[in-house]
Structure 1
Amino acid sequence: MTGFDPRAHRLVAAQRWFEDFTLGERFPLPSRTMTSGLFAAFQAASGDNHPIHYDRDYCQARGLPGMLAHGYQVAIQTAAGAGLFPHMVEDSLKAFLEQSSRFLAPVFEGDTLYPCLEVDELSPNRSTGVVGLRSTVHNQRGVQVLEGRHRYLLRKRATAG
C-alpha cells in the first residue's frame, strides 16, 4: 500500500461551490496561435470543407491575407476545460446549461488568441445556482474578436441540519 489516493490527485485542491464565486472574477485561458495544424485538425473534426478555411490561394484571390478561421474554431478557444474553472467545481458542477457567441472580427492563420471567462451572473436557487461567465477572445493586436456567454448550474455547499 502506497497511501496514494487517486481522488486526492486534483489540479485544484480546494473545491468551490456556487456561493464561493463573485461577480467580476476572471478566469484567463491559455493563449493559442492559430497554426495550419490547428486549421487542419478543426477541418478534420468538423467536416467543414469550404476552401476559405483551408486553401490559402483561394483566400488570397478574394483579398484575404490568409486562411480564415471558422467561427466555431474561435468559439472553442473559450472552452472552460482549458483553464481552472472546471477543476474548481468538480464536486459542485451539475450541468453546462448554455453557450452563445458573437463574432466581432475575423481571425486568420497566424493570429494568437487570448480567451478569458469572467463571472457576470450569480443567480441563486434553493440548493443550486447559475454561474454565468462572459467569454471574450482578443487577438495579438488587442482587437476583440469574440464575445459570448457560458452558463453553469452549480450545487450550493451542503448545510448541516
Structure 2
Amino acid sequence: MEQFQFSFNVISWAIMLVAFGISARSPNIRWLIGTLTLVKTLDIVILDVILTWGAFYYVAISLLDLTVILLVIYRQATANWVAAREWGILSKIAHYSSKYYQFTSNEMSIIGILCLSIIINLFSAIEQGIRHYTDFNPMFIYDTFPYLKFALSGLLLMALISVAIDAAKNYYQDRQSFR
C-alpha cells in the first residue's frame, strides 16, 4: 500500500507539472498550480516519515490539506507578500499573479475536495483511537480509506487540469501581460 501511495503521489506530481506547463502563460493560474505543486513536493518528501506516526499521520496529512486550503484562499495575499520581497523572477511572477488575481470555481472545488479529505482523515484518526483505547474494533473508515483518498486525489487532479486548460484558453483573460 505504501509503495502504491508513493507512486500515485509521484504520478500526481508529474500531472501537476504538466498542468503548470499548460497554464504557464496565465500568471493567476500558474501561481495557483505552482503553489500546489510545491506542497505536493513536500508531501512526497515527508511521506515515509509521517506514515510511521500512527494516528498522527492523519493529523499530518490534514495539516497539509489545510495548508493548501489556506494557500488557495490567501493566494493573492501570499503573492503580494512574495512580490514585495524582491526575489528576482519569483517576485515578478508573484506580482503578475496578484495583479491579475481571480478566484475561480475550480478553486472552490479544490477547497471542497480538501475539506472532505480532512473530514475523512479526522474520522480515520478517531476510529483508530477507538480501536486503540477500547475493545470495540471499528473498521468502517479504515477499510475504505485508500479508496476514498484515491477518489478525492483524482477529483483534485481533474480540477487542476480543468483550471489549467481554462487558463491555456485564456478563459481568465490575464494573458495580456505577457504579449
Q: TM-score, normalised by structure 2?
A: 0.26
Q: Which has the higher strand share?
A: 1
Which of the pair has more CA radius of gyration? 1
- More contact order relative to length (CA 8 Å, sep ≥ 6): 2
Q: TM-score, normalised by structure 1?
A: 0.28
